[in-house]
Structures are given as C-alpha cells and as structure tokens.
A and B are shown apart, each in its own frame.
Chain A
Amino acid sequence: MADSQIEHYYLELSANPIRFEAVSKVVNVFFDDSNKQVFAVRSGGVTGVIVQGPTEQTTRSFRMEDKGPVISIKFSPDQQVLALQRTKTSVEFVNFLGEMESFEYSQSCKGKNTVILGFVWTHSNEIVFVTDHGIELYQVQPEKHSLKALKSYSMSVNWFVFCPQSNLMLLSTSTLGNQMQPMFFRQGTYSKLNKLEIDLPVVPKPAKLCLLERDVTLAVLYGQPCIVVLRHQPRGVGNTGAEVVVYTILKMSTVKKSHILRLDMSGRFAINVVDNLIIVHHQASKTSMLFDINLPGESDGFVTYHQPVAPAQPIKPFSLRLPIATASQVLSEPAQLKCELYSPNWVVFQPNIVIDAKLGCLWYVELRLQPMVELIQDRCLLVDFLMQRRDSKAVIIKVLQNILEPTEKNRGYLVVISELFDHLNDVYRSFLEVEMQSQMGMPASSGLSVSPAKPTVPVAPKASVVIDQADLYTHVFSHFADYKDEENNGGGKFIVWILLEYIRSLTDYHIPVQHYLHELVINSLVHYKAYYQLHQLLQYHVVSDSKPLACLLLSLENLYPAAHQLALDMLRRLSTANEEIIEVLLSKQQILPALRFVRSTGSVDQVSARKFLEAAKATEDPTIFYSVYRFFEQRNQRLKGDPAFSKGEHCEAYIQHFQELFCDANSNT
C-alpha cells in the first residue's frame, strides 16, 4: 500500500510480454501492426517462420523454401493469405486455406523503374502496394492464385504510414517530404483527401528530404483520426524545444491543425497512444510524457497548446522472469532479468506497442491510473481526465470518497465539490441522452425534461466512464451514516451541503433525482434536528413527491409535528393517494373532514361505511357518530332505495350502537 503511495509511475509494460526469437545473424524479425503479429524468420536452407499474435488463431509456425531474404511479411486480416516481399519489385502470395499451400503466386508492380516501398492489406482480400511512383490497389483471388488490379494512382512517394484502425494512409511527397496526401481506403476503392503541407521548422538549402517517416504517426484519438507529427527544433532563444503537432481529420475530408503539445525537451522521441492519450517517450531522460488533447489548454483561436498532464515519469521498471535453467536454481529465487527501459533496441509501434528486438519481447504499454490521483492536484481536472479513461470507475470513486468525506478539512472544498458535481453530471446527462436515443430510435430530450438550448443531441457520450446517482449513493453517500456519531457539530451540516449540492447539480442538468437521495437528505436533516430547514426544502419542492416519502414524513410526526401537514400536502399533490389521505384523516379522528374529502373526490359510493363508522365510534362523540351514520343511511337510500345497511357491509355492531345511543331515547319521548 505504502509503495503505491510513493510510486508515480503512470505507465507500465504489460505483465506478460510476447516472447519471440531475438534478432540474430540467422533470425530476422518482422512486425505487422495491422494484425499485431510478430514474424521470426529463420533463414538458411529452409525458412522457418514462427508467427506470434495476440490470440491463438493468429499464432502459428510454418516452413517454406528459402528463396532469398525476406523484406516484409504480412498475413491478410482473415489469416487466409500470406503476403511476403523478397524483391523490390514484386510480392509473393501463399494461400493458407485450411493448411499452407506450397504453391506461391506473385504480383509485380507496374513500371520498369518502380520500387515497392511497402504493402498493406486494406481488407481481407485487398492489398495495396505503395511504390515510389504511386499506389496500386489489387484484389487477391486465392482460389485463382492471381491478383486483379482494381485501381491505381500515380505520384512520387518518399514514404508512407498506414493506420489500420482508421484505414487511412498518409503518403509523403515532394522533395522536402512535407507534402502529404492522405488516402482513405474502403472496400474496393480509396478516396483522396485534400493534400496538406506540414510546416517545417527549418528548410534546408539545398532542399532535401527532411520530414521523415519516423516523425509522423497516424492515430485515432477520441474517435477521430489524427496525424501526429514530431517537430524537432533546437532549443534556444524563443524556442522551447521539440513539439508534437496534432492534425485532426474531420469527417474523412478536411484536415485541420488542432493541437500542439509542448515537450520542452529535445532529442529522440517516440510516440504511443494509450486510451486516447498521446504518450511521448524521451530516450535521453528515460521518461515519458502524457498528453490529453481533451483537457483544456491555451488556445489562440485555432490551435490549442497543451502541457503534459503531469510531470514526466519513467515507465515502471520491468523484470523478465527467466525460465529455470539448471537444477541448482530450483532452490533459489526464480531468475529475473531487469529489462533496460528506453533501450536503443526498442522499436515503437502504434498504437501502444514496444518491441525490444534484441531481447525478443513485445509489450503493450499500459496506463496506471492510481498515480494520477497524486500527480494531478486539481480535482476537477483529475476527474475530467479519469472519466475519459477506460476502467477508471474504481479510481474515480476513490477520489470522490476522499473529497466527500465529511471532515473539517473538506468543508473548504465545497466550491470544488460543486464544480466537480457539474462535471460528473455533464457526462451523466450525455449518457442518459444516448440511452434515450437508442431506446426511442430518435432524438431524445423529451423524457429528460426540457433543455431547449440543445436541438441536436450528441450521438456519443462525452466520456467513457459515467458516475451516476446509484454509484455515488452506494459508494459515497450511503457511508455518511458511519460519520454521524463522531460528528463534531460541523460534520452534519456538511453532509447535507454535499447532498444538496449534488441535487442542485442534477437539477441544473435536468436529470431526475432518484428518491433514495431525497430520503437521505430528509434523514440527514432529521438526524441533525434541522426540521425547519427540512420544511423549507419541502416547501420549495426540492424533494419530489412520492408515496414512500409521504409515509416517511408521516413517521416523523412525533419528532416534528409539522411533518404531518407536509405529508398530507404531498399526498394531495400526488392525486393518486386519496385512499391514504382518508386513512390519515381517520387516524387523526378527523371524521367529518374525511367525509368531506371523500365527497370532493367524488368517491362517496365506493368508500367502506364500516371504516367510517368504526372511526366515528372511536371518537366517543355521539354527534359525530350520528352524522356519519345518517350520511351512510342516505347513501344506502340513494344507491339501493333503502336506508338499511346490507349484510355485506358488516355494520351490525354499529347499527346496534346507533340504536343504543339514539333509538332508546327516541322511544322514551
């Protein structure tokens, strides 16, 4: 526990790295970032290939004839066809339909002096060759052992990057390499997006290629494809060191320079994307920086400038558990190998892969949220940050439990708490809207009461994690009861303040408040004997009417007499609780008011005569009993044409009582 308090490592490497044969004279290693497969290709006589992917289905090994060194090797997305490149002008294909076929078929690129820069599977049977003269899109026909040219486009290409998540390809052209042609691949075709020019910090003379493939990354951030460009600039006067420029691609058509991340360092960098965060690894300092383009930053109206979310931290140290080699080691500790972090042998792939080729390890870079609680001081910012992360609920709840604990210290944070609730509920509302939309299959907002300012409903929730009323109740509010006893005269108020602040925020966002929150407010106020304050809250209808709450109020009558009146009012407003009102009045021996009430609701013919006669008898007031008795006799007369009570009404005892009280006296006169 204590360790995690001190540890500020917000990044770690996945606990079980994929191990593969390390690079050596006879072993070449390839990584296909589309399928996340590592190919260890052992040459010499027969080429042995060991493929390791994230799942069982993508892991296999096979052998093939050695026809020369492999330049690139990739399976099709459905793992049915293997494409491998051995020469600069052609790509060979092997079918894996069920089992590996021994027959290879080949496809050369067009043009005599054309060189293939690389190839990418864009769909299960479509492949694109990128050459220095353009791109060529083919359809692979495994059963025919041939390829069919679909489309091609000519342009001079320096290098390219491809993002399998968005099916977007970026081609570098022009002498400087900073003219970019984005291409979006769809089944059977591709579309060209507007070209863009990436501005360079210095233009060399004479002009030469100065924007390199390693500095450009394609990523998907918050559902939007982005081009992430590292911009090296020497630190000096007016220069703050390297920056990362983020270009956002809007609706797969236009590209906009939207964010600049200030690195404040220079040297070698590598970029990963984890959980919508941009991670910039810096080799010299052996640290990594975290950027969230969703958090507010300085803006000049076009571009938002971001600082790291938290001070740069190294990745958490990682040790490899080595297989036990000799018998002598059995007794000792299992051998561990401490891995060098930020090693020169590291190769970084998108979105979150680090490969140490010398070690034969593939890790996923993972985020550790707990340290962020210490690293981000601003609680609102912290919660905003956390809500955007996956699986952050437990951490958020802990943060909330901490700040909402009814202690003297937290009193001063009420302003922050107020803002915090607004942030939570902003996201909460967006979730509800999405839910409504999916339920009704049309724009929502009607059920969530009016919010006239929002004609267009967002289709996606504003964050990946929502903290709703039930969460706060179960994990935070319901524990308030534990503090009640050790309360030292300020704590009680604080609990009520928090609850009201939360209800206020829900109300501001037009979210219906759940009854258990209301109940909690009432019980807290009752516990601190703040009855008049409770009365005011009810008076302004802060607490929504419901039968259970009315009953709760009725039960409070002994503590606070006015609760009875409040309960009656509430029952009345509900308009479905006439039965209850009659019961309450009768229990107070208000027989005649109860009868009048019955008459005003028009249910005279339905009520039970026995109930009223019983209550009237209990008052021991003969006048009241007489009035009630006569009232029901009249009803009988009207309904049945006879004043007598029928057997089914079980009024015999009261008929007798009436006769004892009045009829004997009558006969005497």
Chain B
Amino acid sequence: MTTKSEIRLQNFYVYNSSYGQKEGEELKNILYYFPPQTDFDSQMKTVGLTEALIKFTETFNPDQSCESLHTQKTRQLYYQPERGFWMAMTLNIPYITKTKDGTEYQEYQSDEVQDTVYLAVLQQSYQMFRLFKGTFGAILESKGGDVDYLKQKLDHFFSRYLPTLKLNHCDILDIFQGIQFLPLDKQTFLRVQCFVNLIEALFAQVKYTTFLYNDQLVWSGLEPSDMQVVYRYLVTSLLPAHLETELQGGSIPRHPPSPFTSSHYGRFVTGPSNLQDTSAGVGKVPKVHLNNDTTPETYHLVVYRALSATVCLFIDGSLILNLDLFKRLDIFLGPHLTSLVSEVAEQCGKQAANSGSSSPETSPKFVYFNKLNLAQKSTVHLDSRRTGNVCVTSEVLKLLADINSDKARMPATGETILKTLSDYWVIGKLSNLREFYAVIQQKNANLIEINDEVKRLCDNQLKNIFFHD
C-alpha cells in the first residue's frame, strides 16, 4: 500500500519591503523567519522572490493582490494584514510514492492543500498574534518605531504558535472560524445573562464578560471579530491544556477546605492557583488586545471555571491585578457559578433527551454556518478541539471546502449537489446569508430522494429560521 506524506510547514515569514530599500539591506526587510536556523542568504532569496512575485502580479490587478503560488511540490500563501506588512507561508504538497515499470516515483497531491483553508490558517495566525501582542503598527508606535522590538514580539509569539498548528486537520471550519453556541431555553439563558450583568455591575473593573458551557458559547460581551479569536484560543488551546493539568493534578483539591467558605467548585484557569498562599502572587494572566480595528484597548484575560462553565473576565489592562481582587471574585463567582452551572446542565440534559440523539452512524451529517453571528454547528466533527476527530472521509471534508470556495459564483440563494464515487452525496446550500452543508451516504439513491432527505434535515435542524429552498 502506498502511504501519503503529511502536510508540513516549510517556512513562514513576515516582512515589510519599506525597511531595506537599498541594495544590500534586504535583510532589514525580514521581521520574522521560520525556521529560525535558516541562513540569511536563503531567507533573503525566499523573501526576495515573494516580494518580486507580489510586485509583479500587482501590475495585472492592483486591487487584489496575489494570494497563493502553486508549484508542484509546494504551496505558498500570502496575506497582507496591515499596510506594507506581508505574511507568507510555504507548505509541502503531500505525495504518494508509487512504482511504475520498476522505478519509484512521487505523485504530488496538490488537491490536498486547499487555498481557502490555508489562507484562513495564515489569517488566523495574524489574528492570534494581534490578540496577544496588538497590531504591528501599534507595537512599533509604542516604542518609537523600534523595529527590533517588533521583531522580538514576533519571535516570542510565532516561535511558540507555529509548532501548535495542526496543518493536517484544517478544513472548512477554519474558513468559517465560527462559534458554537449552546442551545438553551430562554429562561436559563436569561439567568446566565443576568449573572454576567451582575458581575459587571459589582466589579466595575470588568469591562466585558463571556460565558461558555463546555466548548459552547452562551454569552459574549465582545464584538464578534474579537470573540471568534478568543473563542478559538479558549477551545483549542487554553481549556484543553487546563483540563490536562487538572487531570494530572488528580483529586487533590485546590482549595483547602476552609470553614469560612462554603464549598464550591470554582477556580481560576488564568490567575492564582491558590488563593490562600499570599506569596505565590496572582499567577499568569494573559493580556489581550481587543477592538483593534476601531479603538485598540488592552485587557487582562481572567478565566474562571466551575464544573463545565467557563467565565472570561476582561479586566481593564491599565489596572494592576492583586490577590485581593481575585479573592473577591472567587467569593462571588464560586457559589453563584456552581449553582448556575447545574441549572444549565439540567436544561441541556432535558434538551438532549428531547432531541433524542440520533444514531451517529447512519444519519446525515451537516455543517451549518451563519456569517452574521458567526454561529456554527457541525455534526461532521465529533468535537470542537480541531484534532481531526471527524466522521466522514477526508475526501468528503475537502469537498465541503470546495463547495464553499465556489459560492462566490452563486447568487444570494443557491444549491450545489455532488455525488462521489464512494456513494457519498455532498450538498451545499446558501440562503439568507447562511450556509448549510450536508453529507449523506446512501447507496442507489437518486437526486429526488437526496433532495427530500436534505429538505427533511433542514426542516428538522433549521425550523426556527428563514432558510428557503
């Protein structure tokens, strides 16, 4: 059997051509280069080629710059997040080693790397950088245009971020970068909402609050563009890491049972791990940059968790956090959140029982996305950790992204139906600015049957919205 090689990151760089315009100063243009051990000569050559390519293509269409470069063995993607600053990354095209007439040769699978998906990955890397470090422009401004300072920041961030990229598990969800909302009845939602309001009323330092249950969002006080980045950080990075340390920590309670505090399950995910120990300080609390497009502001991101509920508090970044604040937060949040989470859990249990979880094997799978509120739902993916835990073949998964990249050619409402050789039907529908993709595996089905099946699925899943066929 042949084995397919994996998609790997070959290089990743950030440059700004205006920094070294004279001959011999090309190295100044490069702000960050990965892998760092690459010699300067190669760095300059690679970056130089990209610069040239982008300049060259601009002559054809000055309004839209070049997004990707296809070669047999590599794929290069470009993104200009801020004026003059370019980010690029090069990926290996996976190949299959085959034998023909006794000689081995490599067949490159260029379809495996989808431009829209990996362009989204590149854009995400910028958004994540911006969340934690701020915009390139703002960083330069803060140090009087000191480019070395920006280089430090880039190096500090990307040298850790890039190794965490899961390039082989990127798919249509990376394009959406949506948010999964928790289905909840109005009454419980209002309880959550009012709880969040209470926090902000009692702690004036807290400017924004978000509330998650497991990996699903219940309430966001942030703007959607910030929320989607924070959501991705929480769900794919911070919370899984926290769960892991918690599992390793075993059953040792973080809070030594104190006669003064009633028992609750709350603890800080970012912040002090032990509120009793005054010498330990307040722990690590990340600073985040929000509203970068309008009025950039920095906030401390304090994350508090009780059972399955996670509350993110965005505290004014100009304040110095002290243990006292955390103690007061804990006293308020702990008991309230513990009782609220059981209410939410009860409601979720009821809804799960009502919907009657259909057998995962045979029922049609779907992906739903609404770009207006970034709501996303997928039964194709078995969890939201983005680790390739999916229940369809990678071929089908790719088709979803293909249909998606094709939607630019569709009018406001439209439908695409595909049938694969492996008896999969893949359907993409666009209506009322929502996207709905369905995957149905059914042997010997005809178009009408599939159409009816999709209709049923839509009626079932989207009964509360206007989604016309």
User: A interface vs B, CB < 8 Å?
Assistant: 411-412, 414-415, 418, 490, 493-494, 496-497, 500-501, 503-504, 507-508, 532-533, 535-537, 539-542, 561-562, 565, 568-569, 571-573, 581, 588, 590, 592-593, 596-597, 600
Contacts and interface: CB of A to CB of B under 8 A. Distances in A.
Interface stretch (B39-47, B166-174, B218-226, B320-328): B218-226
Contact of A504 (B184, B190, B433): B190
A448 to B, nearest CB: 15
Interface stretch (B147-155, B156-164, B199-207, B304-312): B199-207
B64 to A, nearest CB: 23
A512 to B, nearest CB: 12
Given A412-B202, A490-B204, A540-B184, A593 B190 contact: no
A500 B223 CA distance: 20
Contacts of A593: 412-413, 431, 468
B60 interface: no
Interface of B: 181, 184, 186-187, 189-191, 193-194, 197-198, 200-202, 204, 219-224, 227, 370, 372-373, 375, 412-413, 431-434, 464-466, 468-469
Contact of A414 (B201, B222, B464): B201
* Most central of B197, B222, B223, B466 by chain A CB within 10 Å: B466
Contact of A532 (B189, B202, B223, B464): B223
A414 B202 CA distance: 8
Contact of B372 (A412, A561, A596, A600): A561
A542 B181 CA distance: 15
Given A411-B201, A415-B201, 8 more contacts: A494-B201, A500-B193, A504-B193, A532-B222, A533-B220, A540-B189, A588-B412, A596-B469
25 contacts: A411-B201, A414-B197, A414-B198, A415-B198, A418-B194, A418-B198, A496-B197, A500-B190, A500-B193, A501-B197, A532-B227, A535-B372, A540-B186, A541-B186, A561-B372, A565-B372, A565-B434, A568-B432, A568-B466, A569-B466, A571-B466, A592-B413, A593-B412, A593-B413, A593-B468
Contacts of A493: 197, 200
Contact of A542 (B189, B373, B431): B189
**Chain A CB within 10 Å, residue with most, of B190, B227, B413, B434:** B190
A492 to B, nearest CB: 12
A596 B414 CA distance: 12
The 10 A-B residue pairs with the shortest CB-CB distance, nearest first, are A562-B372, A414-B201, A572-B466, A504-B190, A568-B466, A497-B197, A540-B189, A569-B465, A593-B413, A504-B194
Contacts of B432: 565, 568-569
B373 A581 contact: no
Contacts of A507: 186-187, 190
B193 A539 contact: no
A494 B222 CA distance: 17
Given A536-B373, A540-B186, A562-B372, A501 B200 contact: no
Contacts of A536: 219-220, 373
A597 B412 CA distance: 14
B464 A573 contact: yes
A194 to B, nearest CB: 45
Contacts of A573: 464
Given A590-B412, A596-B469, A412 B187 contact: no
Contact of B220 (A532, A540, A592): A532
Contacts of B187: 504, 507-508
B373 A535 contact: yes
Nearest to B411: A592
B462 to A, nearest CB: 10
A303 B412 CA distance: 72
A497 B224 CA distance: 20
A561 B193 CA distance: 24
A503 B189 CA distance: 11
A41 to B, nearest CB: 67
Contact of A539 (B191, B201, B373, B412): B373
A566 B198 CA distance: 28
Nearest to A508: B187
A221 B433 CA distance: 63
Nearest to B202: A412
B191 A412 contact: no
Contacts of A572: 464-466
Contacts of A562: 372-373
Given A412-B202, A501-B197, A600-B468, A542 B186 contact: yes
Contact of B201 (A412, A508, A537, A569): A412
B347 to A, nearest CB: 12
A532 B373 contact: yes
Central interface residue in A418, A504, A535, A596, by most chain B CB within 10 Å? A504
A504 B192 CA distance: 10
Contacts of A588: 412
B433 A565 contact: yes
A496 B221 CA distance: 13
A561 B370 CA distance: 13
B202 A415 contact: yes
A596 B429 CA distance: 14
A542 B412 contact: no
Contacts of A497: 194, 197, 200-201
A503 B186 CA distance: 10
B218 to A, nearest CB: 9
A501 B198 CA distance: 10
Contact of B190 (A414, A503, A596): A503
B415 to A, nearest CB: 11
B194 A600 contact: no
B299 to A, nearest CB: 15
A597 B373 CA distance: 24
Nearest to A532: B224
A542 B193 CA distance: 10
A600 B221 CA distance: 38
B178 to A, nearest CB: 13
